[in-house]
Structure 1
Amino acid sequence: MKTIKNIIPAVLAVFVITVSSCQKDGNPNNLPDVSPSTYEGKVDGYTSSEEVYPTNLVAYWSFDGTKNEIKSNTAPTSSANDALVAGGVKGQALSLNGGYLYYATQFNAFKTEALKSFTVSEWVQIANNGSKRTMIFQLARPGIFNGSLNFSINTQSFPASNTTDLKIQPTFTTVGGGTQDNINTKRDNPGDPNYVPYLVPAFGANVWTHLLLTYDSTTGVFNIWGDGMKMGAFSNRGVGNSLFKSYEPGEVIIGGNYNTIPGKTVSANTDFAAMTGKVDEIRVYNTVLPDAHIKALYNLGKAGK
């Protein structure tokens, strides 16, 4: 019996060390909790989306009782066919019926030296808005058709409910004055090292879809995420003159571009129409969120947190 008593503490000590080691190895992204689902009120270790990289959150639209950008308390300069309605991902959401929000103010957080790498996260419900493209978020350039960042969806070709063919196609302007894009589209060569299977998240007028972009200024990688899945087919967009540039002065448009705003038309282009659908929880970070934290934002939104 004496021998057994001596062995048991040693076995327990080894067991504790082994479990602790496994927990550390199983959390390479340093999430606050490794639980993959809700555990003691938490989702992926968080109790709220507000806990995800708060020091890097530089702009936030909650649409919960206000259309103002929360960090700067900036109100829209003008808007059309818009309302705050119940039933958002968290609290209220912005409802647009061929509408938009326009912010003529230059946000300090989006100036050239402040925004190099970024993550843009938002939740949307999209209805086909008349066989036109849908611009859900734009860092606009006064008097110029294409903004520094254009977060658009190709609803000009397919209804928003068509999850077989509908494409997400964001673009950005570069240091050299050109344009780079990414798109979730079919790739013919699965053996290609950059191959990504063609994926489309669930879209629709009554479906909340989480869309997210990341851009890394050190590598030129520009990624599309939908409902917690990486789905861009052409993520590596190069460096040098192909790097993203946030041009100044800049403005923000939610739900459209200049050609959808009366009195602001800059060209004869009619590709876009003001958005019909809903938007909620727009977050802009001045860094690339790690994959696990992107998935946590999606899971938190699904849980209403």
Structure 2
Amino acid sequence: MASAITVLLDGVAAGMLLFVLSVGLSVTLGLMNVVNLAHGAFGMLGGYVCVVLLNRLGVPFPLALLAAAAAAAAMGFVLERLLYVHIYGRDHLTQVLFSIGLVFIMGAVADWLMGARTQLIQLPPWLSGRMEFAGIGLGRYRLFLIILCGFVALALHFGLVRTRFGARLRAAVDDGVVARGMGLPVGRIFSITFALGSGLAGLGGALGVEILGLDPNFPLKYMVYFLVVVAVGGANSVAGPFLAALLLGVVGVAGKYWIPEVGAFIIYTAMVVLLLARPQGLLARAK
């Protein structure tokens, strides 16, 4: 029982991290109809910002996380205004080719500036090690991930569903011409939304350095995981990708603990089963 609970908590932590890394892609794809395969590059940027601030400048870990998210959001805002704005409304193949090219460019820049070796960070003492509760060993950093990422999920859901900005975003996506006619700043709304998704990727990249590692191949290495979460959870909500990330995180960690020879194959099997059972997404209504 103790082993099962430990695996469950580790799986939930992995799922929470996967959600924060992936949800920005769900927002841009589902709400803005932009296939941004360069999403992981913003996660890589956040990870490198966190590494530099922690390892070279000695910045406290919470401030490094905030700076990583802010840097990725700022980069997303700039690139959206300079580049992405020109592919809105274009066919998905054009968007895929553009974003894949951007991945290789940002990976080459990261390799030039930081080198090809895997980057690691030293967690502060209050996040290191494990704590015992009722005979069950719980990793402090895993618990931190669960709490922080859970808060991010709730805040994002509330912001997109219950606020005026969320309503304006949905209106801009549904009919941009009418939204502009009503005086909504559609361009600004899209820029803020894209920056939000990029910032979440940066936060996830910073949080994931300890667990996933970090190198210039990060965007390509984990791209398929982001796409799996969006495909399984659906690209029109926050709750769907959240549930998908949790399921895939638990299944993936359980497979590595109990069937290590199978490895990541478990996640892809779960993806196929879930897509066959719910091709429209976990929480979407069948048409």
- Using the size of structure 2 for normalisation, the TM-score is 0.24
Which structure's relative contact order is higher, taking Cα pairs within 8 Å and 6+ residues apart? 2
| Higher strand residue share | 1
Whose radius of gyration is greater, 1 or 2?
Answer: 1
What TM-score does the superposition give when structure 1 sets the normalisation length? 0.23
- Greater share of residues in helix: 2
